[in-house]
Structure formats: structure tokens, C-alpha cells
Amino acid sequence: MREVCVAGVGLSEWGEVWRKSIRDLFVDAATAAIKNAKVDHLDSLYVGCMSGGLFVGQEHLGALMADYLGMAGIPAMRVESACASGGMAFRAAFLEVASGASDIVMASGIEKMTDVSGDGATDALATAADQEYEVFNGATFPGLYAMMATAHMARYGTTREMLSAVAVKNHKNGAKNPVAQYPFEITSSQVGNSVMVADPLRILDCSPVTDGAAAVIVTTPEIAKKLGVPYVKVIGSAAATDTIALAQRADITVIKSATLATQRALKMAGKKLDEIQFAEVHDCFTIAEIIVAESIGKYLPGKAGAAILAGETALDGKFPMNPSGGLKSKGHPVGATGVAQIIELYKQLVGKAENGRQIPKSPKIGMAQNMGGSGASSVVHILEVA
């Protein structure tokens, strides 16, 4: 396989974007990425989206987006893996360039979530779980993660303060992110006193509903050099699955798909985990960040909460996690999240993270972990400075 890199990135507005449709948001992000990469064409397009059909009644997104980008004619495909759709779209683009099949491929992600009611969004998101054996019986997404939290807290003594510390840190970072949906700091007390959603998770433990799109240009280092744009190498790309239903997991305090995807990505990159200097992880709920941090092997089981509380994962800490603000503060337009994580890695690695969000020690290698549902799919990418 050839060497692959990310040579340009673009984001749309993120938040409750009433005036932009699903195609408008995509075009905003895509044109920004194309401009940033200085490419004049695309060989192919991947669009990560969890459910254009349930949110806005629109499928066939590959064709739609290629058309509205003014590039009808190019091959285009929509990729779906629930909340890992974006990461999987990026993986597909990586493989297409790595294989030599294409030279310049756009990996994008998009979700337009606010055209349905709260109940409608809940129902659409619930399709990532086991429809007949979890959702039918009244499971909600916060409920599934809450059950993982209950088990984790009972087994390891993980505390309310540790959960809150994840949200506080991510908001601290997100306050510096111009794209963030909630660009402001919050306190541990605010998190711990916010309204209960599914015990023990409170509203401030949960990522929001967001409209947004993200796009990156995936190409070869040779082409990036010719274009004269900064680029970052993609040295590891891997994915994994686990049982869809929480009741069927071997251990509900571990997200095994994250473990497997990380191991595979590290193997491809020829790196060890302690060579990874920072990470963007899928904090759909605060407990998810704690469990993922342990599952990828960065912390021993039960130890991540205390480390986060002690500041180890802050921007200036030993292992910065979610310097972008994570899903919690930046927002979580489901299909776009995985691509936005790649964009944050890119910005940090080329030294372009805005507003004082740059990780001080000038990191050389970072990883992104994006997952779907309650952890039934994970996709991990490792990026390295050129």
C-alpha cells in the first residue's frame, strides 16, 4: 500500500443551523477543504452519515453531494456505521488512495439533526442499538451508557467527580474552538447538579444534538508536496466490531471494539501506544471517554477516571485527550464527528490549532477513535507529522 496523507480540511458551521440544509452544510465543508488543499478535482467522494433518511428523508447522499459540489460524474458513496460513519468514511478514503485506485479522495461526514423533534432524534439515534432487544424494551442511548457507568462505578469506584471532570476539561478546550457548539467553560458542580437523564448520567454528561459537516482531502505525500500545502501522514487505519447489544458483551465495562481497532492500527503504524502523544476519542457521554481511555490501553481498568480528575488529559497534561473540546463541547453531528476528529489531529500536528488550543509540546503523533452505538463498532486512525 502507498503512503497516504491528509492535505486539506474544512468544516461547516456547527450547532442548530436552521438556515442550512443537509446539502448546504456539506457544500460549505467540502468547498472549504478543497480550497484548503488547493486541489482542482476529486477522484472520488465518501460521505459518512448515520441517517439522512430518518432525519431529513434523504438517502443516496453520495450522489446528492457529488452533484451539489458541482462534480456530478465522480464516483461517490455514503458510508454508515452509526456514530462511526465519519471515521469509516475516512478509512474508506484512506484505503482507496493507499491501494492506488485513486489519487485524490474526499472523506466527508454530515448530519442534519434538527429538522426532527427531540423524540424523532432519539428514535433515529436509537437505530444504532439493538432495535428488537434493547430499543423495543425502552433503552435509550443515555440509558445504555448509563448502564456501563453503573457497572464501572460499582466495580472500580469511579465517581461522579471523575465523570464531571471529563465534561469540564472538554468544555475548557472547546471554549477555544471557533467551531464549537458550546464554546464556554463549565464547572464540576454544574455538571453534577444538572438534571438527571438516566442514572447516573446527567444532561451535562451527554453530547448534544448538532447540525454540521466536516471534510478532508486524502491524497499522497507526493501530490501534497506538488500542491505546496501542509500535510499529515496517515500511518494507521483500522476498525473493529463487537456485539450490538450491551447484554451480549463479554465485559460491559470495556469497549472491546476500541481495544481491537487500536491494536490493529498500532500494528499497521509500527508504533506502540506510548508513542501516541494525544488523542481525540468518542466522548458521546463522559463515561465513554473514561472507558475508551482504558480500552485503548492508555490506563489500567478502573484507573482512567482518577487520571482525568488529576489533569493528566488536559491540554498541558501527560496525554491530552479531546483537545478539540470533544463531542461534548464541540458538538456531535453524528456522521461528521469522525472526520472532525481527523481535522483536529491535522490542526494539532501542523501547529494550526486556534485560540490557544494548540498542545504545548508540539506533538508528532496523534490518534482518533470514533465509535458507533454503544461500542459495537470502532475505527481508529493514527496520524503523524510529515
Partner 1 sequence: MTMFSSRNWREYPQRYRYEATRFIKSGKTYFPPRQVDPETGDTDRVTVTLPETGKVITYTVIRTPGAQFKDLSPYALAIAEMTDGTRVMAQMTDVDVETVKIGMEVRLEFRRIQQEGEAGVIGYGYKFVPKWF
CB of 287 to partner 1, least distance (A): 11
Out of 5, 83, 206, 284, pick the active-site residue.
Answer: 83
Q: Between 229 and 258, how does the x/- string for binding to partner 1 read (CB under 8 A)?
A: --------------x-xxxx---x------
Residue 148 binding partner 1, by CB under 8 A: yes
Looking at 72, 101, 154, 300, which residue binds partner 1 (CB under 8 A)? Answer: 154
Q: In terms of residues, how long is the chain?
A: 386
Residue 193 binding partner 1, by CB under 8 A: no
Looking at 196, 300, 310, 386, which residue binds partner 1 (CB under 8 A)? Answer: 196
Residue 291 binding partner 1, by CB under 8 A: no
Nearer to partner 1, 253 or 277 (CB): 253
Judged by CB under 8 A, the number of residues near partner 1 is: 34
- Compute φ and ψ for 378, nearest 5 degrees: -140, 145
CB of 244 to partner 1, least distance (A): 11
Q: Annotate 120-145 with b (16+ C-beta within 10 A) or e (fewer).
A: ebeebbbebbbeeebbeeebbbbbbb
Report which secondary-structure segment, H or E, holds 189. helix 188-193
- Asked whether 108 and 214 are in contact (CB, 8 A), the reply is yes
Residue 18 binding partner 1, by CB under 8 A: no
Residue 228 binding partner 1, by CB under 8 A: no
Residue 316 binding partner 1, by CB under 8 A: no
- What SS3 class is residue 372? strand
Residue 142 binding partner 1, by CB under 8 A: yes
Q: Stretches 136-144, 215-223, 271-279, 357-365: which one binds partner 1 (CB under 8 A)?
A: 136-144
CA proximity to 145, closest of 91, 208, 199, 95: 199
Residue 150 binding partner 1, by CB under 8 A: yes
CB of 126 to partner 1, least distance (A): 8
End-to-end Cα spacing for the chain = 17
- What SS3 class is residue 257? helix
Residues 6 or more apart in contact with residue 226 via CB below 8 angstroms:
none
Out of 171, 282, 332, 381, pick the active-site residue.
Answer: 332
Nearer to partner 1, 149 or 167 (CB): 149
Residue 136 binding partner 1, by CB under 8 A: yes
Q: Catalytic annotation on 41? A: no
Q: Catalytic annotation on 60? A: no
Looking at 18, 41, 73, 119, which residue binds partner 1 (CB under 8 A)? Answer: 119
Nearer to partner 1, 126 or 162 (CB): 126
Residue 40 binding partner 1, by CB under 8 A: no
DSSP letters for 270-321: T--GGG--EEE---SBHHHHHHHHHHTTSS-TTTHHHHHHTTTTSTTSSS-B
DSSP label at 120?
H
- Asked whether 67 and 38 are in contact (CB, 8 A), the reply is no
Q: Which burial class, exposed, middle or buried, applies to 264 when counting CB atoms under 10 A from its CB (0-12, 13-18, 19+)?
A: middle
Residues identified as active-site? 83, 332
Q: Which residues bind partner 1 (CB under 8 A)?
A: 119, 122-123, 126, 132-134, 136-140, 142-143, 146-151, 154, 195-201, 243, 245-248, 252
